[in-house]
């Protein structure tokens, strides 16, 4: 197979080109954690071939991550391109001595690159500049603190680093999430218009709160899925619509997997409980 270079020409707006790109990365062999460690050591020594191998082996993950941010103003090709830039940065900064897998580290760089691109190029409903700068600072500090603690920081820990109160920090996060919710529901028809009006009329913000919980829960579960058994992982993926899969009700998952609806409920509950036992889940418990 020809050498695959990580360039923007691979992820342009041409749909046919994107399909070729996806086909190319689908043929790249994955690497195990042991090989990741060896590659990381070589990268520190300046080995560009090792860096290229670590990056290309994880390109499929970038696509999975990028798909979660579709319909926010940028094409999938553009999202993948931005995510690839984050992956490259992660490969250059990965510290294998900390004991976690490369993809658990890289997810923050990939997501940060994608979100930054969306905020810069695709935001329809713009936050005031001071709020945009505030969210950038919060995201950057959260990433740094995540790597230092090897788990997601609490709101209190993040507030101490940033120098804001927990209430101020929460206000920034809520404002950004609310704007993203509105962007995703810009009226395009009668039913969408009604949905937007109903949301704006909801002074309690219940719709936004549920959206925030759902989005944050998906992101945290993605990082920990490899701790579950195959069947448990499949149930979680379908229950929360991860990796581009359609989100299904327990009844639909039961039919798909040949199990009872109650058994699916039990396995899903068991899986979430497993995930909550890991320190990296952090605030996941508040969404259970």
Q: What gap in Å lies between CA 195 and CA 82, rounded to an integer?
A: 31
Residues 65-101 have pLDDT tens digits of 888 887 666 788 888 888 988 899 899 888 888 888 8
The mean pLDDT of 133-144, rounded to a whole number, is 65
Q: Say whether pTM exceeds 0.95.
A: no
pLDDT score at 283: 42
Q: Name residues whose C-beta falls within 8 Å of residue 219's C-beta, 6 or more positions apart in sequence.
A: 111
The mean pLDDT of 145-162, rounded to a whole number, is 75
Q: What gap in Å lies between CA 284 and CA 288, rounded to an integer?
A: 7
Residue found under tokens 């709101």: 155
Q: What is the DSSP string of 225-243?
A: GGGS-HHHHHHHHHHHTGG
Question: Is residue 39 pLDDT above 90, yes or no?
Answer: yes
Residues 236-258 have pLDDT tens digits of 878 877 655 677 888 888 888 88
């Amino acid at each position: 197979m020809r050498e695959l270079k990580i360039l923007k020409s691979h992820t342009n707006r041409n749909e046919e080109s994107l399909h070729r790109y996806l086909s190319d990365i689908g043929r790249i062999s994955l690497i195990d954690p042991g090989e990741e460690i060896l590659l990381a050591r070589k990268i520190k020594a300046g080995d560009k071939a090792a860096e290229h191998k670590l990056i290309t082996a994880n390109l499929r993950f970038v696509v999975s991550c990028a798909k979660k941010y579709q319909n926010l103003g940028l094409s999938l090709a553009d999202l993948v391109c931005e995510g690839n830039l984050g992956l490259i940065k992660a490969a250059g900064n990965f510290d294998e001595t900390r004991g976690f897998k490369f993809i658990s580290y890289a997810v923050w760089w990939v997501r940060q690159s994608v979100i930054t691109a969306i905020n810069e190029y695709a935001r329809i409903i713009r936050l005031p500049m001071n709020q945009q700068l505030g969210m950038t600072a919060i995201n950057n500090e959260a990433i740094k603190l995540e790597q230092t603690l090897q788990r997601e920081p609490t709101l209190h820990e993040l507030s101490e680093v940033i120098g804001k109160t927990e209430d101020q920090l929460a206000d920034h996060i809520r404002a950004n999430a609310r704007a993203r919710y509105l962007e995703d529901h810009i009226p395009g028809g009668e039913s969408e218009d009604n949905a937007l009006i109903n949301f704006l009329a909801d002074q309690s913000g219940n719709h936004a709160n549920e959206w925030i919980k759902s989005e944050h829960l998906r992101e945290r579960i993605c990082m920990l899925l490899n701790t579950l058994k195959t069947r448990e992982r499949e149930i979680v993926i379908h229950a929360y619509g991860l990796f581009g899969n359609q989100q299904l009700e327990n009844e639909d998952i039961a039919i798909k997997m040949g199990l009872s609806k109650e058994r699916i409920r039990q396995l899903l509950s068991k899986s979430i409980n497993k995930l909550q036992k890991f320190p990296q889940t952090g605030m996941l418990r508040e969404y259970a």
